[in-house]
Structure 1
Amino acid sequence: MYLLGASGHGKVIAEIAESNALLIDGFIDTDLHKLSLLGYPVFHQIPREIIEVIIAIGNNKIRQKLVNNNANFKYSKLIHPNANVSSRALLGQGTVVMAGVAVNVDASIGDHCIINTNASVDHDCVIGDFVHISPNAALAGNVTVGEGTHIGIGAAVIQGIKIGKWCTIGAGAVIIRDIQDGSTVVGNPGRIINK
């Protein structure tokens, strides 16, 4: 398995792979100054053959672009052993679940998502592709989060809310109303500051 992106997020994902006893072949990164990370080699070109990859980059748009431009990638999903993921939850390919996360019954999480440290995704939530749920963010039951949206650290979303595609929910925001596509929301209660 290769990890695409040799920086802080990549280090966290490498440790999740290690904790699952998975073999890491190395990192792939375009920064020519990076030669190794956590004792693994950093390669600067993508191999031509089909390779197993986890995209270890936090930026949602970059993850989407890499998926769309690299047909020779085969994707795994990674779940930290200290995460609590319901056996009735669905997780898409390329998705990574960090330590301390809770994903409850009948939640559906799309492809290439990041469910970050200590985040909570409650029952019947539907999370689109390329979403990042930041550390300590909490989604109550029946929340829908559209493709590419970033839920900031410590944000809270009450039950039944629908958040559109490619939104940014600020750190600590409290979301009590539905949010339209492309919105940036901050505060308690959350208010839209940009569309």
Structure 2
Amino acid sequence: MSIVIIGQKIGMTQLFITKGLAIPVTLLKIGTCAVTHVQEMEEYTKVQIGYNVTNPNKLSKSMIGHFAKNNLPCFRYLKEYKNKNSGQFNVGDIITLKHLQENEIVSISAVSSGKGFSGCHKRHKFSRGPMSHGSKNHRKPGSIGAGTTPGRVFPGKKMAGRMGNNKTTIKNIKVVKIDQENNILIIKGSVPGKKGNIIYINKS
């Protein structure tokens, strides 16, 4: 059974367990997710879910028609995934925290925090050069391999550039506690992105 739930990152704190240990946890606000589209395929089923009801004026006419076709409110975020179990979800079904349990293992995907333009040492963990007075190679990238042959720099060369702001997935995260009344999920460890970032919880 594969389920995807969309939520929002609140922040981090710590919890004390019965053994007296303090463990770092992340609080996630899980909004009500609704199934907006279901398409049956030969080997799997495509399930599309929506999150965060928004004003129709902020969407295109095609998206408004997509929701109006199934008498659904307009959602700001959509996520489509594959489900191997046919007939498990129908259009209009609500996906909540009841589909998760404590001590369960999940995977969380989100966009990592942007670090801006960074040098090769910070971006790729390069080692610095000698810091002595005569050295002129303290934090330089070094040779980039563009000699007579091949006469160019190969794509993908590790150099300075934009760091962060990429989709990141952290697997095997443990669910510590579930607050059904406030729709808050407490997981162990950290989650990519800053406060208020949209996260996708994948239960395989």
- Structure whose CA Rg is larger: 2
Kindly indicate which of the two structures has a greater share of residues assigned to strand: 2
TM-score range, shorter chain: under 0.3
Give the TM-score normalised by structure 1.
0.19
Using CA pairs under 8 Å that are at least 6 residues apart, name the structure with larger relative contact order, 1 or 2: 2
Give the TM-score normalised by structure 2.
0.18
